[in-house]
């Protein structure tokens, strides 16, 4: 697996973005990892790398933030989001919404399973309490996806100098 200079800078930039935004204070769930997973899916030719890269970003920061019982479910959500990026082959409003909703549904099914009564009432309570987190996730996904899209277009311009 060989990367050109642009791709190496892209990987380092995304890694720094992921680490800083997860470690610095921020609103809950307002983070770029979903956007990075989508972006990895359509941008990186090596799909194994595309799937592992967002997971590596998460693992690096989870070493500092701490491990938890929902990690396999959360990491699985980012695998799904990378797959969405692979299938869509580009960043679209629809792909961002699909990634945000899939994360919301899968992660909260995990929260419900491990932390709430296994009843319809428990499910309803879990998803109702998660709505503010979903609003932050969706806002973050739209924001960071826009930033990534603008950055890629800027870096792809022939007159843009990469040092």
The per-residue pLDDT for range 2-40, each reduced to its tens digit, is 778 888 888 999 999 999 999 999 999 999 999 999 999
Given this model, what pLDDT does residue 156 score? 73
* CA-to-CA separations, 77 to 9, 24, 110, 111, 116, in angstroms, rounded: 26, 22, 11, 13, 20
* CA-based end-to-end distance of the chain: 22
**pTM (2 d.p.):** 0.91
What is the average pLDDT across 72-97? 96
pLDDT one-digit tens code per residue, 102-148: 999 999 999 999 999 999 999 999 999 999 999 999 999 999 999 99
Residue 51 has pLDDT above 80, yes or no: yes
Distance between CA atoms of 98 and 18, rounded to whole angstroms?
A: 21
Given this model, what pLDDT does residue 107 score? 98
Tokens for 92, please give them.
Answer: 């679209």
Predicted confidence band at 162 (pLDDT cuts at 50, 70, 90)? low
Distance between CA atoms of 102 and 98, rounded to whole angstroms?
A: 6
Residue whose C-alpha is closest to residue 39's, from 98, 1, 101, 86: 86
- Residues 6 or more apart whose CB falls under 8 angstroms from that of 111 comprise 70, 126, 130
Instruction: State the DSSP code for 97.
Output: H
Instruction: State the DSSP code for 32.
Output: S
């Amino acid at each position: 697996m060989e990367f050109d200079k642009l791709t190496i800078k892209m990987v380092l930039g995304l890694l720094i973005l992921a680490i800083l935004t997860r470690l610095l204070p921020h609103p809950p769930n307002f983070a770029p990892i979903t956007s990075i997973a989508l972006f990895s899916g359509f941008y990186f030719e090596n799909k194994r790398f595309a799937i592992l890269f967002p997971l590596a970003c998460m693992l690096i920061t989870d070493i500092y933030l701490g491990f938890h019982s929902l990690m396999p479910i959360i990491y699985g959500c980012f695998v799904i989001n990378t797959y969405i990026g692979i299938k869509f082959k580009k960043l679209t409003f629809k792909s961002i919404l699909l990634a945000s909703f899939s994360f919301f549904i899968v992660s909260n099914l995990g929260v419900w399973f491990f932390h709430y009564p296994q009843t319809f009432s428990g499910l309803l309570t879990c998803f109702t309490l998660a709505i503010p987190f979903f609003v932050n996730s969706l806002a973050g996904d739209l924001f960071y996806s826009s930033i990534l899209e603008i950055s890629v277009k800027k870096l792809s311009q022939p007159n843009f100098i990469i040092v």
